[in-house]
Amino acid sequence: MSEVSRSVEDDERIVGPALRTEIRGWRSRSGPDLHDLMRRADHSWRHPIMVFSGAGVAALALLLLAAIMFVAMAPPGPAAEIIRERLLAP
Amino acid sequence: MASCVMTVRDEQASLAKDKSREGWLDPATQFPLLYEQEYQSVYRTVRAIVLDAQEAEDLTQDCFARAYRAREKYQPTAPPSAWLHRIAVNTAISHLRRRKLARFLPIKTELGSDDRRLVQAEARGAVEEALAELSPKLRAAVVLQYFHDCSREEIAQILGIPSGTVASRIAKAMAQMRKRMGPDPEARA
């Protein structure tokens, strides 16, 4: 047990200071920009993931609607009858 | 009598809490000040997770934009910096998940090109190389412990995991990083 804790302490002694020195050297070049922040906060809905998700949902809804219309309004024929029976049967 | 004692204790606890909250900036009313004060600190946390300076700049702004929209929902049970770091960790980890997913999509997103990441990977120092070996959650735990000097409980609160898990994650991360950075050159190979 003591060997394990000593090993963890050794790890921390070696890694900790190097980590602190490295991270302290990281500084944002653009720095805080309140104007840009307000713009982002106001236009968050324009985030690509939200736009893509919205477009995807709309496309699926349209596809479903078109499929329903196709089934409902398909010209009479043996194939259309079978499809209509299978899809509209309770 | 018991209820009276409880009331006095409750009041004392409440006073102690109020005292500990002295100096905490209220995100709802003092957001610009909080933003100025915590910006670099949040940037470093985000950068330690994504390991890309340019992406970290963008994500830090995204994190503060999220925090700004949620500023009214902040509960003073933890310092605002811990609240911000929780948002930062979630923002950075979500970004990495999206980036992973974007590799499988044929469309180009604004998540950064592979070429730029390749150049950045080549320019990394020993510490960044060692951090890159860890999972994003391990990197988050490491930066919170060794740079921000957060306690295990604070880290647990920020990452939303039990404090025992924090301890094991950090020990695991330290062992991995030491293998990579240790003074023994054979260990690095």
What was the pLDDT predicted at A1? 46
Cβ(A40)–Cβ(B61) below 8 Å: yes
Q: How many residues does chain B have?
A: 189
- With CA atoms as reference, the chain B residue closest to A30 would be B57
Whole-angstrom CA distances from A79 to A10, A72, B105 are 76, 13, 37
Give the residue with greater pLDDT, A56 vs B184.
Answer: A56
With tokens 């999972």, the residue in question is B135
On the 0-12 / 13-18 / 19+ scale of CB atoms within 10 A, B65 is buried
Residue of chain B minimizing CA distance to A26? B44
Tokens of B63: 């994190």
CA distance A42 to A36: 10
Name the closest residue on chain B to residue A22, using Cα atoms. Answer: B127
- Per CB-CB distance under 8 Å, the chain B contacts of A37 are 35, 61, 64-65, 68
Rg (CA), chain A: 31
Please tell me which of the candidates B36, B69, B183 has its beta carbon nearest to residue A44: B69
Confidence of residue A10 (pLDDT cuts 50, 70, 90): confident
pLDDT at A75 over 70: yes
Residue predicted with more confidence, B185 or B30: B30
> Both tokens of residue B158?
């920020």
**Cβ contact A24–B147 (<8 Å):** yes
- Report CB contact under 8 Å: A28, B57: yes
Cβ contact A21:B147 at 8 Å: no
State the pTM of this model.
0.70
Task: Please report which confidence band the pLDDT of residue A66 belongs to, taking 50, 70 and 90 as the band edges.
Answer: very high
User: Per residue in B156-184, pLDDT tens?
Assistant: 988 888 988 999 989 888 888 888 876 65
Q: Which residue has the higher pLDDT, B126 or A11?
A: B126
Mutation for B interface: A1, A11, A24, A40, most B CBs within 10 A: A11
